[in-house]
Amino acid sequence: MSVPSPGYAAPVPVLALGDVLLVTLQGDLHDDTAERLRQDLTRRIARHSGGRVTGVVIDISGVEVVDSYLGRVLAEIAASARLLAARTVLTGMRPAVAITLVELGLTLPGLLTALDVERALELLSGPDPAGARAPDAEGGG
């Protein structure tokens, strides 16, 4: 992850599904790419052509290693999206990745999580509890 990519970081495609943005991360993510994704996403949420963005789904089923940097970027994306009134759901985390993150102490308390994209869309289509989030996300921050 620490190998600097020369010059321009390859952009991560961001798909718009109605009022939800879907991002699929694949393989090892360079720090630059993660940084670029953060900027892209915030911009897309703010200037979405099809009206308001209510949710962002980040699918990491293709990611085998999540380090502390990517973990922080994901948390920051969620926090920024929250400021723009969008909920962020992290989906498809592998068991091994979850164990590593917990061992690192990165429990990502600000993020919503779902098993897969389908569940994430289901979660986002439900009512936004806004201040009153799911009990499992409470008090973790």
Partner 1 sequence: MSEHDAAPGAAAQQVRAFLERRREQIAQRWADAPLFRTVFTVSRDEAVEASKAVADALAAVAASGRLEDITAAGYGTVREQLGRTAAARARTGCSPARIADEVAALRAPAAELLRAEFPDPAAPRAQECLLALALLMGTLRLVVMETALSTGEDLIERQRQQLLEATTPVIKLWDGIIAVPLIGTLDSARSQVVMENLLDAVVAERARYAILDITGVPTVDSLVAQHLMKTVAAARLMGAECVVSGIRPAIAQTIVHLGIDLGAIVTRARLSDALVYALRRLDVEISGPVPAVAGRP
End-to-end CA distance of the chain, in Å? 27
Distance CA 94, CA 102 (A): 12
Min separation Cβ 46 and partner 1, Å: 27
Residues 70-109 within binding reach of partner 1 (CB under 8 A): 90-91, 93, 95, 97-99, 101-103, 107-109
| Interface with partner 1, residue 131, by CB under 8 A | no
Min separation Cβ 121 and partner 1, Å: 12
Based on CB atoms, which residue is closest to partner 1, 44 or 117? 117
For partner 1 (CB under 8 A), the number of binding residues is: 25
- 3-state DSSP call for residue 97? helix
Residue 52 corresponds to which tokens in the numbers above? 């308001």
- H/E segment holding residue 87: strand 87-91
CB 81 within 8 A of CB 41: yes
Residues that bind partner 1 (CB under 8 A): 90-91, 93, 95, 97-99, 101-103, 107-109, 113-116, 119-120, 134-136, 138-140
